[in-house]
A = this chain, B = another copy of it.
């Protein structure tokens, strides 16, 4: 007899190496593990003796409803998401279903955060994020394209680094081009960009390109596209967005000099409009 419990677990990008100890523990403690078939496969070896409920890509509601039912039935359940369950993952859906199916809140819930796909992709590209960034999914399955477009425009105009999830699917081929057209109104065509497919799991591909080059690249639902801000540079095969630390030629003041402070650099992130003639 196990105690009823509902874990919503982020397994990180997919490889065992980038799971947290708590995620391993939560899966270990569960009687039932629920997830998308392809992600369940990443957990091979951790699931012996457990009941596994796995369904295809668009069956999220069924999967999460099954998980809540099992937990209400007294079992210990782990719903697994790749990356972090709070970032385009299952945390919200499970809570929405609990609100309906367990309004009294009888089932204890623990959300176990994980390494996001954008953190995984960024780690392979160098340091593209570093300063303020916006994360936007280009999938218009649940969010109208008009809203997505507004967000891209706003984030581009304010010089956010951009991370694009779900950049292209078999059915949805033009959205990434349109997204890049929006960004090109605010950033030069040679703005450094990167595409990482299957970050930190088998099949990994890493590509450094430019904003203008993104639409011509191989990109799919397993990819994350990162577009630098106006300060992002490339060094060797890496993207770097300087946060603005003054490096100078001189070593900075010695550690003993307590209370000294890195001074404000003169406007490291200027925000002029760029008169790019769209490609």
**Stretch from A43-51, A58-66, A71-79, A210-218 contacting the other chain:** A58-66
Task: Check A62 against B240 for contact (C-beta < 8 Å).
Answer: no
Q: A21-B19, A159-B147 are in contact. Are A134 and B131 (CB under 8 A)?
A: no
Question: Known interface pairs A126-B95, A155-B158, A245-B61. Does A18 touch B113 (Cβ–Cβ under 8 Å)?
Answer: yes
A18 to B128, CA, bound (A): 23
* List of B residues within 8 angstroms of A18 by Cβ: 20-22, 113
CB contacts (< 8 Å) of A87 on chain B: these are 119, 122, 129-130, 133
Q: Kindly state whether residue A220 has any CB partner on chain B within 8 Å.
A: no
Contact residues of A between 101 and 128, Cβ < 8 Å to B = 105, 111-116, 119-120, 122-124, 126-128
CB atoms of A144 and B96 under 8 A apart:
no
A25 within 8 A of B: yes
A128 touching B86 in the complex, CB below 8 Å, given contacts A115-B114, A157-B154: yes
Question: Would you call A170 an interface residue if the criterion is a C-beta within 8 Å of the partner chain's C-beta atoms?
Answer: no
Q: Given the known A-B contacts A114-B115, A154-B157, are A132 and B143 also in contact in the complex, defined by CB atoms under 8 Å?
A: yes
Nearest Cβ distance between residue A126 and chain B, in whole angstroms? 6
- Considering only CB atoms, which chain B residue lies closest to A171 in the complex? B261
| A130 contacts B91, C-beta separation under 8 Å | yes
A243 near B21 with CB under 8 A, answer: no
Q: Is the CB of B243 within 8 A of A92?
A: yes
B131 touches A143 (CB 8 A): yes
Task: Check if A267 is an interface residue, CB within 8 A of chain B.
Answer: yes
Integer count of this chain's copies in the complex? 2
Q: Which of B61, B89, B147 contacts A269 (CB 8 A)?
A: B147
Identity of the chain B residue whose Cβ is nearest the Cβ of A64 in the assembled complex: B245
Q: Is the CB of B242 within 8 A of A96?
A: yes
Q: What chain B residues lie within 8 Å of A141 (beta carbons)?
A: 261-262, 264
Most chain B CB within a 10 A radius of its CB, from A88, A113, A235, A241: A113
Interface residues of A in 222-279 (CB under 8 A from B): 235-236, 238, 240-247, 251-252, 254-255, 258, 260-262, 264-265, 267-269, 271
A4 at the interface (CB under 8 A from B): no
Q: Given A20-B18, A238-B95, A262-B58, do A84 and B243 touch, yes or no (CB 8 Å)?
A: no
A-B residue pairs in contact (CB < 8 Å), sample of 29:
A17-B22, A19-B21, A55-B255, A58-B260, A60-B262, A65-B251, A84-B122, A86-B127, A88-B243, A91-B122, A92-B127, A92-B130, A92-B243, A96-B247, A98-B235, A113-B115, A113-B119, A113-B120, A113-B123, A114-B115, A115-B115, A131-B143, A132-B134, A142-B264, A143-B243, A144-B264, A147-B267, A150-B271, A154-B155
